[in-house]
Chains A and B, each alone.
Chain A
Amino acid sequence: DVKVTQSSRYLVKRTGEKVFLECVQDMDHENMFWYRQDPGLGLRLIYFSYDVKMKEKGDIPEGYSVSREKKERFSLILESASTNQTSMYLCASSLGFGNQPQHFGDGTRLSIL
């Protein structure tokens, strides 16, 4: 079974802090994704990566950056956290694009105070 592990289940940070969310997958998947889930808005794609050191913006990249130095690890960075970034963050990986399902981690509930 695919295992996608997010480093923290719950995280509380302060406005203006630089925040790192880490994600690791163990199935040698090429593609990795970061989403945020908010009530009534579903899953919105922040960034994705299709190879080491490669990244693509999703629908809502503003205020975020990502890093993929190794194939199994994909980090989401909040450069200067703001209260509107309080959300559930979900990491996913997939073997390919189009016709392959994405496998999700359990999410990080991030609160920015």
Chain B
Amino acid sequence: DQQVKQNSPSLSVQEGRISILNCDYTNSMFDYFLWYKKYPAEGPTFLISISSIKDKNEDGRFTVFLNKSAKHLSLHIVPSQPGDSAVYFCAASASLQAGTALIFGKGTTLSVSS
């Protein structure tokens, strides 16, 4: 059973507008969440993370929001740029459980048109 779900396989946005990528999780032990960006033929690149003690983390154009009660997080990109076109993976971990690896969602392909 999928513990981390990205229910939208794809998202299309115009340049300059906001992109919102969503992620849901089922394991209440998860307390650390990350977003990765992946271009074709490259490895995923770490983008931004958030700990469960926070509900928001911001880094430039990227903001991650966490709603623990809903077991939901989202990544906002404002303003979106054509170079943001990539696959975005949500990942989660239970940091207090020793030896556990990140659990990844299946990814959302973002297309930003100019």
Residues of A within 8 A of B (CB): 4, 9, 33, 35, 40-45, 48, 50, 56, 58, 90, 92, 97-99, 101-107, 109
Residues of B within 8 A of A (CB): 9, 31-32, 34, 36, 41-46, 49, 51, 89, 93-102, 104-107
CA distance A107 to B36 in the complex (A): 15
Q: For B98, list chain A residues within 8 Å (CB).
A: 97
CA distance A106 to B45 in the complex (A): 9
10 pairs, CB–CB < 8 Å, chain A vs chain B:
A4-B43, A9-B41, A90-B43, A97-B95, A98-B93, A98-B96, A99-B51, A99-B93, A104-B45, A105-B43
Contact across chains for B106 and A58 when beta carbons are under 8 A apart: no
CA distance A51 to B82 in the complex (A): 41
Q: For A43, list chain B residues within 8 Å (CB).
A: 44, 89, 104, 107
Q: For A97, list chain B residues within 8 Å (CB).
A: 93, 95, 98-101
Identify A42's interface contact among B31, B95, B97, B106, CB under 8 A.
Answer: B106
3 closest residue pairs by CB, A with B:
A98-B95, A104-B43, A42-B106
Q: For A90, list chain B residues within 8 Å (CB).
A: 43-44
CA distance A103 to B101 in the complex (A): 13
CA distance A104 to B105 in the complex (A): 16
Q: For A103, list chain B residues within 8 Å (CB).
A: 46
Q: For B101, list chain A residues within 8 Å (CB).
A: 33, 45, 48, 58, 97
Q: For B94, list chain A residues within 8 Å (CB).
A: 98
Contact across chains for B95 and A99 when beta carbons are under 8 A apart: yes
Identify B99's interface contact among A42, A56, A107, CB under 8 A.
Answer: A56
A90 to chain B, nearest CB (A): 6
Q: For A92, list chain B residues within 8 Å (CB).
A: 43
Query: A107 and B41 in contact (CB under 8 A), knowing A43-B89, A102-B102?
Result: yes
